Every structure is written in structure tokens, then in C-alpha cells.
Structure 1
């Protein structure tokens, strides 16, 4: 009989386990600031840091606690975070030059992220061992090879195609028909980055306010009035950095233009060193080329594995979620068929109609978000660009600036449509798996 999928004493978010909450410095909410930043995740905290260093008075308004949202709940995977449509899809939509420019932003974002972490001396367990992305079919392997060749030519992507004959050098699985190794991908401990950004923002003079949701905004002369539980805050500039955690009305312009999607994450109990080496011989992180894909990686201490994605019933019981994650893990790693999970948590990602992240200013409000599940490097990079624009500094442009960012039609119903589409795609993946078997 298989062991129960949840270990005794299971916790919630692995990244926060054993870490005390970040406690902001006591501060009285002022009547007016230069900039109000809504959301205390990667985007909001990095924006606040740069603005405070630039001499602006900044208040960061967080509805829950610091780093409550995706910034403390994600998989901590870093890389170029290329556009979901790929070079072929982007070229069809925008032309070859624009497609290359958009993809190049991914490389620039990764360069910026690495440079920022190094310059700030941030210890967030950043390593770049590469990421193996498995191809479920031979046709998928060939399509991946063609796309990587396009990216190598257009933006200098470093990669290596790994045929099935050499797959075991990188992943302890025979499930895939080979794959690609993205040589510059890696991972971090995301909660450490949240805490580092918060402490640096406060040291620069930014004020952080928890349990301070924004319920509405309106223009009053040359200021924007933000409605808060304790009253009204006036700001010359407002930055919306809520990504998938904002209400459509209260967090315009970002809220009405993204679809929040719930994803699940699970961390295993501690595994033996030999089993960890078997799962990831070179210490790489992993993804896969499927309609409903799973990402997975070792924890920074090399003692556990984390699996994430839209796996199983997101709103189901903990036992049902654990069984679904274990089934997906065992699909790739049969040696984990009896694995138990010590931590299970969920988080929201934000998708956009064009599968692209966006930043800019609409109706007088700055925003950055819609990261489509790949926001670690993008958020830090976009935050720097937004801060530069507010401060009037150079090097603030990106290839995303002129992309239209339409609202999501029937926005209140979009999350349910996303769930239905995910189930359809999961059925298609399962059908393909049966055909392979």
C-alpha cells in the first residue's frame, strides 16, 4: 500500500517555513506622498527601492503582509523568460525585427537580474545550473530544436539539445524523448529576495504598510487619491504592482487586463542524497513541453524536490492536491511513486490576452505585470524601467512599450474560462500519454 501523500506535520509555503514574518518599521501613513506603490512583491519593492534612492517619498501599500503574493509563492526559477508565442508566433504577429527585439528583452532581463543581485550583495541562493526542458514526443523535440536555433540566431540564446540517448546525464527519467538544456537558467530562494528588497527599500526611506488594501482611486487635480481603510492618501504618481492579486476595479489599469490563474506547488519530504543525484545528476532545474506543463527543481539546500503547475484540483482538499502532484511527479520519476509532501501551497499567476508581460502608463497610473508565470527576472527588470521613467532617467525603454494592452472581455468570468481550458488541455495531454504508452 502506498504511503499517504501528505507527511505528518505538513506545513504550507516551504519558502517561508521557519522564517519569521518580515516586520516593516513602524510608520504613520502620511496624507500625501510623491509615489504610492500598490503591492509589496518583487515589482513593488524594487520600484520603491529605486524611487526612494532617487529622492522620492514613497509609500508601499500591501493588502496583506510583505511578499504575500506570487513573489513568496513561486518556484524561484530564473531565466530569460521568453515570450510564450515563440519566435515563429511573434514573427507572424509583429514581424521578424520586433519579434527579435521582444525576445532580446528576456536576455536583457536576466543580465539585469544577475547584475542587480551581485551589486546589492543579495543572498537569495542564486545559482545557474541550467534547466532541462523535456520533449514528450520526437516531433516536439524537433520543434524545440528549431525554435532554439531561431533564438540563438536572433538573441544569442545559449542552449544544448539533449537527445534521448544522453537524457539520463541530466534527468533521472526516461519519460521524455530528449529535450533542451537552457544553459543560463537557474533558481533562487524567492522569499530571501522579497526580504532583501523590503529591507533595502526601507533603508532608502520608503515606507511599507501592511494590511492596507486600496479599494479605489480617483483623480483630484494633479494628484491621485487612493481610498484606504484609514482614509485617503494623495500621490503624484501611482504604480500598480499587483500582478494576479488585484481586483479588476480597484487596481486599474492592471486588474482588468489580466486573468488570475491559481497554481499549486508542493515540496517533498527530505530525500536521500543518492535519490537527489539520481533525479538531477547535474543539479539542473526542469520544465516540459506540454499543454499543461509541470516545472520541478531541487531546493537550494539539495534536500527536497519542488513540483509546481496547474496540477489537480487547485481548490480541492490537501489530500486530493497531494495525490494529483504525486501522480504528475511519478509520471516523470517512477522512483517517486511513494513520495510524501511536507509542504503544499497555492499562488496566483497573471495571464494576458497576448501572452506577454506589460508595463507603462494608462489613465495616469503606472503599472507592470502580467508576467504569465515567468515573473522573477521580468519583475525586477520592469520595476527598474518604471522607476527610471518616473525619475526621468535614461535607458527606460523596452520592446514591450508599444504593444497594445487591451482589457480582458467578460473579465469576471475569465478565471472560470481558464479553468475549463486547462481541463481540456490536460485531457489532451493525457490522451497523448496513452498513445505513447
Structure 2
């Protein structure tokens, strides 16, 4: 996706230049071709190359062009979009517990990878405060805390409204929940660090080189690119929310959804300390919600969600952000915007991420807006599966990942559903406000 007029991505202005792309000619044959230069593709390519496979990675734009450089850089176990009640209702308590525990394993893997590879990416698990928009949301969140502690061992606790100011400089919420194992990272530094390690391991990374066609061959898959054709023993599709007809096996199984993000600042140290006294990352309950966090240098705040995305003039996008932000933080009514940008995430019909072998290729994606931790983990798991190594299994393996019926209409349907959810959220807030008058 091309940047919209006036867009500036915060992370691009706070990182060094990416590694130089490969200048080598396209080989005639390799063990594995990886399509997509984000977290999933780079993690998978790194593990494959370290295991002795010849790997070529193709990225249609630049490394980390998509969500890997456009997200908010929030990490954690990634609780399921269905919520605890929905997850247990859909899969049963045993499976629900396994899925949630997989999130903790993914976070452990990310921490160890960053440490062992010495990737300087500002990873800090400062915890996340999730504000409850209504008293009912607070009660439900408190019950989830108890369930997560008992079944998953996740350190979390409820914060009543009377103690809310110890976590956030806002009176908007009705209390909230703290998840101690969440935190933040500079995603651009992380993706460039993975690219550097992959290149050092022998992965040939070709930027600005799109894969245009995949065709079965007698000894693997014929891969046609902008710069030539080669044969691969295996192909990995890691294009996620930037999938299209060229990566059809993944594109037909996910729905790309555009989201927006902005950075406000720099702000004074005193104001930053007021907004987030413990330097936590933040979220909120609701069907269509906002996430926000302090930047790693502690000087600005980043806000994002399914509002203020591309396709409208920059002034209107800033107005949409300002309206959402000042609902929570009235003290930011005239704070300056430094960056506004947009990007795609990938949703699935079951709200779960997936990995596996489909339509003759390996793929992983559909992270549903919680992809930083999961994508790095899934990339490594996918590589282990391709290699036939042990410890390749995940709790998501037996979840069906069928093509979406009427896929061309899915983005329109998702947009209509989002508007309906926004109307319901607004109704809930009006009801809350009437009860407190």
C-alpha cells in the first residue's frame, strides 16, 4: 500500500537505515522461497537458514513496509478476540486454555530471541492497563482476571475506579485491568534486527521484487518474480494484511482491514507522567477500541485503532484522532500531532491466527491486530514444521483455515460490521452517562 498524502510513520523517523538488499542474481533453484519481508517471513527465513537450507526472501516493497513497521509496537500474550467466555464457548475450556497458554509461550520466545540475538529494539514489559468503558465491562474483566490466573497462570489484576489514577491520568474509565506481561517494543528496530540476522545467516533478501506467480513444477514450485524465475522446494507466504492475488492461498483466507495511528508530542515529562504514571501501554474494552502507549523515549504518545485511517484528507484524520484521544485525555486537546499514518491488519473469520500448509504452499497470518509477538513465533514454528523438527506444534494447528465465502465482498462486510459495532459502543456510553448523571 502506498502512503497517503501527508503520512509520516513515527518508527521510520526513529531508526537507522535498513540493511542493504541483496545484489546477487536470482538463482535457478533454492530450498525455500519466502514471500514477504515482515516479522513472519524474516523469522521463518532466519530459522530455515540457520538449519542449513538455502533461502531467498522476496519483498515487493522495502523490508518491513507493511504492518511490521506500522503497528503500535505493543507486545504480550495476545488474549483472544473472542474473549474468555467466547473462547470457552467455542472450543471448550481445555482447548481455550491451550490457546491462551500458547500466547505466553510466544512471548517467552520473543524475549529469548531478542536477548540471544542481541537485537536492540527497546523491548520493555512494563504492563498494560486496559480501561473498562462501563461498569459491566469492569465486572466482566475482573472475572476474566480470576480465570486467567487460575487456568493460564497469567499475572493480572483488576483496578477499581477509585484507584484508577495510579494507572492512568484519566477519569473516563470505570476501572480496568492490568496485564503484567504486556509491554512495548520499537517494531521497526525489531524487523530490521531480524533482517540483519537473516542476512548474516545466508538469506538472500531481495527488496522491491514482487512474486508475480506461483505454479506447481515437477520438483517443487516455479516462482516467477519481477527479476526472473526460479524453482523452490517449498514456498512460504508471509504477506498477511498485504496479501493480494499474487499470494492467493493466503489472500482468500483473510480479510485485510485498514487501521490508523498517530503520534502526539513531544510532551513535557510532567504530562507524560500524568498520562501513564507507570509507563504502561494501554487499551480499552469495547467492540471498536483505541490502543495507545508512550514512545520508548518517553517523550510522546502513540494512539491507534480503526479510525483516522487513509482515504480521507489529513485534517479529517487528525480530527478523528483528536476526538477519540480527548475523550480519554482532555488535557491533550491542543497537543501537537507529529505523525499520522495507516496500515493493514489481517482478520480471520474465527478471530484466530493460523499457520500450516494450504493450496500447495506454507503460510502463516491472520493475527487480528495482535501480531508482533505471534508473527515472530509463528514464523519460527512454521520453519520447524517445514524442516520436520520437533517442537513444531501449536494449539492453533487443528483449527480449520478454509477460504472465505464471497471473499471479494468481505472487506465491505467488515466495514459495515465495524460501523454497527461503533453504534453499539456509542449506545453503551450514552447509557453509562445517563446512569451516572
How do 1:16-31 and structure 2 match up within 5 A? 16-17=12-13, 19=15, 21-22=17-18, 23-31=20-28
CA positional deviation for 1:363:
2.5
Distance 1:353 1:55 in 2: 36
How do 1:27-426 and structure 2 match up within 5 A? 27-247=24-244, 249-312=245-308, 314-426=310-422
SS, match of residue 251 in structure 1? helix
CA positional deviation for 1:97:
1.1
Deviations 1:340-375 (A, max 9, x none): 211011010000000000001113211111000000
Q: Are 1:428 and 2:424 an aligned pair?
A: yes
Deviations 1:143-194 (A, max 9, x none): 1111222122111111011000000000000000000000110000000001
- Retained in 1: the 8 A contact 2:71–2:187? yes
Distance 1:266 1:391 in 2: 41
SS, match of residue 307 in structure 1? strand
Distance 1:201 1:149 in 2: 41
Deviations 1:62-81 (A, max 9, x none): 01011100000000000000
> TM-score if structure 2 supplies the norm length?
0.95
CA positional deviation for 1:42:
0.5
Deviations 1:283-310 (A, max 9, x none): 1110000111000000000000000001
SS, match of residue 403 in structure 1? coil
Deviations 1:31-84 (A, max 9, x none): 211100000000101111111111111010101011100000000000000211
CA positional deviation for 1:436:
2.7
Deviations 1:313-351 (A, max 9, x none): 541111111110011000000101112211011010000
Distance 1:253 1:341 in 2: 39
Distance 1:69 1:11 in 2: 14
Aligned length: 428
Q: Structure 1 158/124 Cα, relative in aligned 2: closer, same or farther at 3 Å? A: same
Distance 2:332 2:69 in 1: 26
Distance 2:107 2:14 in 1: 29
Q: Which blocks of at least 5 consecutive residues in structure 1 are unaligned? A: 1-8
CA positional deviation for 1:121:
1.1
CA positional deviation for 1:197:
0.5
Distance 1:288 1:19 in 2: 29
SS, match of residue 71 in structure 1? helix
- Retained in 1: the 8 A contact 2:39–2:191? yes
- Retained in 1: the 8 A contact 2:60–2:207? yes
SS, match of residue 244 in structure 1? helix
Q: Which blocks of at least 5 consecutive residues in structure 2 are unaligned? A: none
CA positional deviation for 1:18:
5.2
Partner of 1:4: none
Distance 2:123 2:383 in 1: 24
> TM-score if structure 1 supplies the norm length?
0.95
Q: More deviation in 95-104 or 348-357?
A: 95-104
Distance 2:31 2:312 in 1: 44
Q: More deviation in 251-260 or 200-209?
A: 251-260
